[in-house]
Amino acid sequence: MVLAEWVRAVLRACSFSMVILSAPVLAVDMTGLSQSDGQVMTRHLVLKGFSTKEQAERAVTVLKDAFAAQWRYQYAESSGSAEMHHEVRADTERGGYLVDVSIITPSAPVEEGDSSAIPVVSVDQALTETPAKEASGQEVFPAESEAQVRADALRGEGKEVELKVVRVLVPDDHTVKKRFVRRTDAARALTVLKEAWAEQWQYQAPDATEDEREALERLGSFSIQEDKEQGGYLLIARGINIKTNYRVRWWTAVAEQAPPEEPPAGAVIDALIEGADEKPSAFRLNGRVKGELGWPAANGQGDGGVHYANLYAAFAWQPAPWLEMHVAGRVDGNWQQNVRWNEVNSLPGEVFMRWRGEKNRLTVGRQSVIWGSLDAVPLNDRLSRVDLRRVMMDDLQDRRLAVPMVRWEQFMGGLKLDAVLQPEFKSALLPALDSYWSPIDQKNGLAMGMEVNPLVSALVSKGTFGDDGGGWGGAGIRLSQAGEGLDWALTVQRFRPSTPYYELNPAVRSTLLATGNPQLALSSASGDAFIGRHPLGWAVGGDLGMPLGPATLRMEAVYLTDVPVTTNDLRLDSVQGVDWGAGIEWNPGDAEARLIAQIVRRQLLNAEHVLNSVAVTHLNGSYQDEFFNGRWRMSLAYAIGLEQRDFYWKPELTYLAHEPHQLYLAAHLFTGKPGTMGGYYEKKDLLTMGWRMRF
Amino acid sequence: MSFLKSLYPYFLGVVVLSADVSVCALASEESVSAGTTLAQRIYDRENGRDASSRGVMVLEEKGRPSRERKLYTYRLDKSKGEIWSLVRFVSPADISGVGLLTLDHPGDNSDQWLYLPELDKSRRISSDRKGGKFVGSDIYFEDMQDREPSMDWHNLMGHQTFQDQPCEVLESTPRKADNSVYSKRIGCVHLPSLIPLWVDFYRDGKKEPSKRMVVNRFDKVSGIWTVLESTMSDLEKGTQTRLRIEKVVYNVNLQESLFSRQALEDQTVEKAFRP
């Protein structure tokens, strides 16, 4: 008896499930549905009215889940088995698709289920939004296609049209009562039915909002009542279904209104937040500000504070995607106490016009182009104008200045061709002679890069320094590719190095060699004693970048035809040279820390009888890590000479928590043998405290 | 299981693994099979051929002012396992213009480039990086990378209800411990949408999760289930990152050229595709 009761119950439950499934469009054909051979009962159900095959299959999924779950709970003590088979096929009578379902269960149903009328009948607007404007008309259609036709016709009449899904609550007369012997079984079945009821709306009303779906879920009513007359417990379930209609509303269009923007071809666009569209502005202003106070670590030379401020601002106007205008400038201020040296100067930054094609860009004007791949010291960066006013204290982008150029960039699949013409040469900006960072120390007769000796000291102390800047700048072409597993580039440049190489005035040199008297030599010449030269030469280079396990490997090499050197008899000459470098970038511990380690070497070729070092090798790079949840950053930049003692260290502690502001403490520490950069600035260690921000 | 594929329409999936033999041994054959099937379904779920979105990433820490990053993202499913994505930050000022181009290839291979507007240069970065925080958030680089189901063992652990939504608990453990920063992930997958409603991330074989992701809001957009707001919490540090999608569009015919160095280095190219 118990088994039979369960069988009856599950059939009732199944029919209930189908009512649930039928919500918006279905009809359920349950005629002639049962056959029994005494052992098992087979029932056939046909669910009709699916507009798509996918919709029908979704319904089967829900039905099967519900059936399986009910079986699991309600037949837990049964030795029988239940099966459900289905077939989805085209409905040849009424169109669309239908599902033919067969349910095979143990025979001998016992329990009944009663239906009772549902008292609630409502046609409600609660599930629809209140229109923002007063409608001048509306119509409701049962099918979306009909509504769409009407909407198009109204639009053709110049009306503003809204097409919206309208859900209407309809009565459901399939209230089901199922009897269970144990309350536990009834409760389990109730849980299953409630979940199935809630879940079905994912399919039946996929476009419903969260609030709507919650409202729909509340339409199901489930309860358990103890049956005191016949015993056991009754699970009473009833539901209210929804019907989907399509409402067309229209208003008289306002003549001044701009037509809605057409979406891209093939696009389906859903605005999640009304009015949240952000159109890129044609104007853009950005820049950075920096203020720094510095104090020499060793004040024996009488230097006071060494302070610095910088403002960089850029304004861009892009009236059309193919055209852009860019104007930028910078102001630098230097203040040195004690020596009372103040300097405030302004420089134009990038000032250019850019035209864009689909696969190319032409940029004309002042611009900065930095080629090469090594960090901080890219070897193929030959056409840039260098700013040495603060030596290497700032980041690479702050150590490069814009110069007049014409640049053509052509993109060819994964390849990029980059051609640059620099019609006017601009020499590097050097620190003034009074600057803390001047490479010429006339007081002590020292020059960075020159060995200390009495002759040179005398010349440096009393001599003047000039520059042969001006004239044609150079040109370059670079072919590069960022490909799968490998980036490469080949670069050819005809260039003049912006950093001057000082030649001793030939007249001074002749007299000096003849007399050995620096004073006499200096007085014998007209013009500057030292002339900064920028010899024109070729640079042919290449660079590679590739992943190397958890790191990134970068390599660069460049062959140079005209590297200036000084012969033993103090003449300016030039030799060939090769610069090469390799480095890795790695995140130790696979966390926030970042390590860059590079080796860079300059090798002079066939350089005999010269005062210069034939080979100079440096290790350089940086290490940085963040701590206290990214509020602080610690970093260390370094450059270490390998042939002779030459060190530069820049530890920095930065407070990052108040974006976009940064506060930092840093030190610039030098040490080295005479003639090296570290040696020259050995007594120039500087402690700094500063603020920087971007806007 | 590709959790974040479900979370971020542009950030592509992730999963779990470590050759945690004990987990596999304890799991029944049935649950492993069901778990693998579910993971594959999640990975294969309808996600659109392409998508572009505008979002806000809010970095929060108790007692501290929150920090915001606004970004645009683009994704193209080029072919099976070949997924390309581009992320562009538009604020705050110190990272405005920074771009990240990722080309995920079938298997565990990826190429990744970072564009630095200050230098007007893009540079290759290691795609093997998994554990680093993405722009200081609680989202790791690994969380944004595509992770195919075959890279993990999957075990279906049972049912649960999360915020009134039924979901299936799925555990994923890396088959090779060295290809994930996580030793295990456990998430609860909402079957109708195949979106994990929450995911616990375990590191270093610890019993307690180190991070937890919770979906705050999801809905269908253009017929595609989309996570509209989620929170990733670092349970050890007490920080959290909320990711809110302000707008997303699918199947807008994003071109392959958008996922190139040209587009990475020139925001104008990419602006035309902004939602």
Query: Residue B83: which of B59, B102, B108, B57 has the closest Cα?
Result: B102
Q: Which among A269, A324, A694 is the nearest to B94, CB-wise?
A: A694
Distance CA(A375)–CA(A581), nearest Å, equals 10
pLDDT exceeds cutoff 60 at A264: no
Residue A472 to chain B, least CA–CA distance (Å):
25
Joined tokens for residue A459? 């010349």
User: Mean of the pLDDT values across residues A374-398?
Assistant: 92
Residues from chain A contacting residue B250 (CB–CB below 8 Å): 268
Backbone angles phi, psi at B98, to 5 degrees: -65, 135
What's the one-letter identity of residue B205? G
Encoded tokens for A538: 């070729």
Q: Is the model's pLDDT at A660 over the cut of 80?
A: yes
- Please state which of the ranges A268-272, B88-92, B106-110, B142-146 shows the lowest mean pLDDT: A268-272
Do you find a cis peptide bond into A651, omega within 30 degrees of 0? no
- Does residue A283 carry a pLDDT above 60? yes
Contact (CB, 8 A) for A403 and A367: yes
State yes or no: ipTM above 0.85. Answer: no
- Give the sign of the dihedral formed by CA A288, CA A291, CA A297, CA A299: positive
Distance between B45 CA and the closest CA of chain A, angstroms? 15
Average pLDDT over residues A180-202: 75
Q: Could you tell me if A365 and A405 are in contact, meaning their C-beta atoms sit under 8 angstroms apart?
A: yes
Contact B113, B49 (CB under 8 A): no
In this structure, of A360-364, A551-555, A663-667, B249-253, the range with the lowest mean pLDDT score is: B249-253
Find the helix or strand (DSSP H, E) in which A103 lies. Answer: strand A97-106
Residue appearing with tokens 């995607």: A321
Q: Closest Cα partner for A326 from A438, A390, A405?
A: A405
Residue A196 has a CB neighbour count (10 Å cut-off) of: 22
Q: How far is B268 from chain A (nearest CA, A)?
A: 7
Per-residue pLDDT of A110-168, as tens digits, reads 333 332 222 222 223 333 333 333 446 777 777 777 778 888 888 877 777 877 776 66
- Nearest residue on chain A to B238, alpha-carbon basis: A629
The CA-atom distances, in angstroms, between A20 and each of A17, A27, A51, A174 are 5, 11, 17, 9
Give A478's contacts in chain B (Cβ within 8 Å).
Answer: none
Using DSSP bridges, classify how beta strands A385-386 and A440-441 pair: parallel, antiparallel or unpaired: unpaired
Of A175-189, A316-330, B243-257, least confident by mean pLDDT is A175-189
What's the burial of A75, exposed, middle or buried (CB within 10 Å: 0-12/13-18/19+)?
buried
pLDDT > 90: percent of chain A: 42
Distances (CA, A) of A447 to A386, A567, A599, A679, A680: 19, 17, 26, 11, 8
Q: Would the pLDDT of A205 be above 70?
A: no
State which residue of chain B sits closest to A629, comparing Cα positions.
B237
Mean model confidence pLDDT for chain A? 79
Pairing of strands A530-533, A465-467: parallel
Q: What is the nearest CA distance from A547 to chain B, expressed in angstroms?
A: 6
Coil, helix or strand at residue A101: strand
DSSP string, B131-193: SSBGGGSS-BGGGGS---GGGEEEEEEEEEEETTEEEEEEEEEESSGGG-S-SEEEEEEETTT
Considering only CB atoms, B228 lies closest to which of A267, A272, A550, namely A272
Residue from B261, B267, B269 to probe the interface with A (highest A Cβ count within 10 Å)? B261
Tokens 């005629």 belong to A31
More confident residue, A582 or A278: A582
Q: Given this model, what pLDDT does residue A76 score?
A: 43
Kind and range of the H or E element at A71?
helix A53-74
Q: Considering all CA atoms of chain B, what is the largest pairwise distance in Å, rounded to the nearest integer?
A: 55
Q: Where are the beta strands (DSSP E) in A171-267?
A: 176-180, 221-226, 233-238, 241-252
Cα-Cα-Cα-Cα dihedral sign, residues B203, B205, B210, B212: positive
DSSP B178: G
Confidence of residue A65 (pLDDT cuts 50, 70, 90): low
Tell me the DSSP string of B82-126.
Answer: EEEEEEEEEESTTTTT-EEEEEEPSTT-EEEEEEETTTTEEEEE-
pLDDT tens, residue by residue, B214-262: 999 888 888 899 999 999 999 998 999 999 999 999 998 898 989 999 9
Mean pLDDT value of segment A557-571? 94
Identity of the residue in B123, B221, B272 whose CB atom sits nearest the CB atom of A270: B221
Mean pLDDT of the region A451-472:
86
Q: For residue A454, say if its preceding peptide bond is cis, omega within 30 degrees of 0.
A: no
Q: With 50 as the cut, is the pLDDT of residue A519 above it?
A: yes
Please count the residue pairs, one from chain A and one from chain B, whose beta carbons lie less than 8 angstroms apart.
157
For the segment A363-377, the average pLDDT, to the nearest whole number, is: 95
How confident is the model over B20-38, as a mean pLDDT? 59
Q: How far is B46 from chain A (nearest CA, A)?
A: 14
Question: Do B126 and A630 lie within an 8 Å CB cutoff?
Answer: no
What totals of helices (H) and strands (E) does chain A contain, helices first?
A: 9, 38
Residue A87: C-alpha distances to residues A21, A28, A56 (Å) = 16, 15, 10
In angstroms, rounded to a whole number, what is the distance separating the alpha carbons of residues B255 and A201? Answer: 36
Q: Please tell me which residue, A213 or A320, carries the higher pLDDT value.
A: A320
- pLDDT classification of A693: cutoffs 50, 70, 90: very high
pLDDT at B165 over 90: no
Contact B129 A589 (CB under 8 A): no
Is B136's CB within 8 Å of A630's CB? yes
In percent, how much of chain B has pLDDT > 90? 47
- Euclidean distance between CA atoms A431 and A499, whole angstroms: 12
Q: Which residues of B fall within a CB distance of 8 Å from A587?
A: 126, 129, 131-132
Does A633 have pLDDT greater than 90? yes
Of A29-33, A192-196, A288-292, A365-369, the one with minimum mean pLDDT is A29-33
Q: Which of A283, A285, A590 to mutate to test the interface with B (most CBs of B within 10 A)?
A: A590
Tell me what pLDDT residue A270 has.
Answer: 35
Q: What is the pLDDT of residue A124?
A: 30
Q: Is B247–A592 a contact, with Cβ atoms under 8 angstroms apart? A: no
Q: Which residue has the higher pLDDT, A105 or A492?
A: A492
Of B132-136, B171-175, B255-259, give the lowest mean pLDDT range: B132-136
Among candidate residues A332, A329, A328, A327, the one with its CA nearest the CA of residue A345 = A332
CB B122 within 8 A of CB B265: yes
The predicted pLDDT at position A560 comes to: 97
The pLDDT score that the predictor gives to residue A301 is 59
A204-218, B32-46, B189-203: which has the highest mean pLDDT?
B189-203
Cα atoms in the 13 Å half-sphere on the side-chain side of A314: 20
Pairwise CB contact (< 8 Å): B124 & A547: yes
Flag the least confident range among A6-20, A550-564, B227-241.
A6-20
pLDDT at position B197: 92
Question: With an 8 Å Cβ cutoff, are B118 and A397 in contact?
Answer: yes
Best mutation target among A323, A362, A587 (most B Cβ atoms within 10 Å) is: A587
- pLDDT at position A448 is 86
Which residue in chain A has the smallest CA separation from B275? A277
pLDDT of residue A39: 54
Question: Looking at the partner chain, which of A195, A264, A370 has a beta carbon nearest the beta carbon of B119?
Answer: A370
Chain B nearest-CA distance from A634, in A, is: 15
Residues near B86 by Cβ (< 8 Å), separated by ≥ 6?
Answer: B73, B74, B99, B100, B101, B102, B258, B259, B263, B264, B270
| Residue A86 binned pLDDT confidence (cut-offs 50, 70, 90) | confident
Decide if A604 contacts A574 (C-beta within 8 A).
Answer: no
Average pLDDT over residues A492-508: 94
Tell me the chain A residues in contact with residue B253 when contact means C-beta distances shorter than 8 Å. 264-267
Please give the radius of gyration of chain B, using alpha carbons only, rounded to the nearest integer. Answer: 18
Tell me how far apart the alpha carbons of residues A491 and A384 are, in angstroms, rounded to a whole number.
Answer: 14
The confidence band for A503, taking pLDDT boundaries of 50, 70 and 90, is very high
Question: Of the candidates A269, A207, A322, which has an alpha carbon nearest to the alpha carbon of residue B52?
Answer: A269
Shortest Cα distance, chain B CAs vs residue A140, angstroms: 24
Q: What's CA B81's distance to the chain center, in Å?
A: 15
Tell me how far apart the alpha carbons of residues A474 and A406 are, in angstroms, rounded to a whole number: 11
Candidates B103, B133, B217; nearest CB to A592: B133
Say how many CA atoms lie within 13 Å of A620 toward its Cβ. Answer: 18
Report the pLDDT averaged over residues A238-250.
69
Among A49-63, A219-233, B89-103, which is the least confidently predicted range? A49-63
* Residues A268, B54: C-beta atoms closer than 8 Å: no
Answer with the residue of higher pLDDT: A380 or A123.
A380
Mean pLDDT for the stretch of residues A181-188? 78
pLDDT at site A114: 31
**Band of the pLDDT at A331, cuts 50, 70, 90?**
very high
Who's near B21: CB < 8 A, 6+ residues apart? none
**Smallest Cβ distance to B92: which of A359, A629, A659?**
A659
Specify the 3-state DSSP secondary structure of A497.
Answer: coil
Which of the residue ranges A176-185, A223-232, A235-244, B43-52 has the most confident prediction, judged by mean pLDDT? B43-52
Asked whether the beta carbons of A244 and A164 are under 8 A apart, the reply is: no
Whole-number Å distance between alpha carbons of A176 and A190: 12
Q: CB-CB: which of A202, A586, A630 is closest to B192?
A: A202
pLDDT band of A243, cuts 50, 70, 90: low
At A393, is the pLDDT very low, low, confident or very high (cuts 50, 70, 90)? confident
